[in-house]
């Protein structure tokens, strides 16, 4: 457990450069050791910001969860958490649709584990998918990212949508001399 806490601290130190971080977070009955929130706005205007041609908003919500081991059942629970709580509460903020200029929201769950996931869990993780379009994509979409960091081997596993995170997590693991 101490190794998990050390790795979590290193991850949060890295994430807090661009994310707002909150420790001990709960959503939909799921307890996370930390929650991170990031937002960005891009705009195009002519001569003055008052003559705005378009504006897009992008977000990422990330839950950091420590576990001894993750199972395929827990991955299904995460999919339900994304559909029933993260998307409605974090993306739509309790309304039917996200805000007008919403383009995307990434719903990320980062597991920090002591043990290597079994073959069934690895397969389930690789095939994990969560996507939700709002108003035929006029109000953007939400996409689920799941990454699992195995501290016993220093290897990260992810679904296809989160494969860009694997190298980063392994680099943080190796950089810390864990």
Number of domains into which the chain is organized: 1
pLDDT band at 55; cut points 50, 70, 90: confident
Q: Is the pLDDT of residue 54 over 70?
A: no
Who wins on pLDDT, 45 or 153? Answer: 153
Q: Is the pLDDT of residue 47 over 90?
A: no
Q: How far apart are CA 163 and CA 108, in angstroms?
A: 12
CB 45 within 8 A of CB 28: no
pLDDT at 176: 62
Q: Is the pLDDT of residue 117 over 60?
A: yes
Q: How far is CA 71 from the centre of its chain?
A: 18
Q: How far apart are CA 170 and CA 166, in angstroms?
A: 6
pLDDT at 103: 94
Q: How far apart are CA 24 and CA 41, in angstroms?
A: 28
Please give the helix or strand (H or E) that residue 55 lies within, else none. strand 52-67
Q: Are strands 102-113 and 141-150 parallel, antiparallel or unpaired?
A: parallel
pLDDT at 175: 82
pLDDT at 29: 95
Torsion sign, CA atoms 96, 74, 37, 52: negative
Residue 55, domain extent = 2-175
Q: How far apart are CA 172 and CA 161, in angstroms?
A: 20
Torsion sign, CA atoms 131, 132, 135, 141: negative
**Average pLDDT rounded to a whole number, residues 53-58:** 80
Q: How far apart are CA 118 and CA 132, in angstroms?
A: 28
pLDDT at 177: 57
């Amino acid at each position: 457990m101490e190794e998990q806490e050390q790795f979590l601290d290193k991850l949060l130190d890295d994430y807090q450069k661009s994310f707002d971080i909150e420790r001990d977070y709960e959503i939909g009955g799921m307890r996370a050791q930390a929650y991170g929130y990031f937002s960005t706005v891009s705009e195009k205007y002519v001569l003055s910001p008052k003559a705005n041609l378009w504006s897009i908003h992008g977000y990422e919500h990330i839950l950091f969860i420590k576990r001894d081991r993750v199972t395929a059942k827990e991955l299904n629970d995460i999919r339900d958490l994304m559909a029933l709580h993260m998307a409605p509460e974090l993306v739509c903020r309790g309304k039917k649709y996200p805000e007008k200029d919403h383009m995307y929201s990434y719903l990320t769950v980062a597991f920090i584990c002591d043990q290597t996931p079994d073959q069934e869990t690895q397969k389930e993780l690789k095939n994990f998918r969560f996507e939700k379009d709002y108003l035929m994509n006029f109000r953007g979409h939400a996409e689920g990212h799941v990454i699992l960091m195995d501290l016993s081997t220093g290897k990260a596993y992810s679904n296809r949508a989160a494969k860009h995170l694997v190298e980063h997590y392994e680099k943080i693991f190796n950089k810390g001399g864990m």
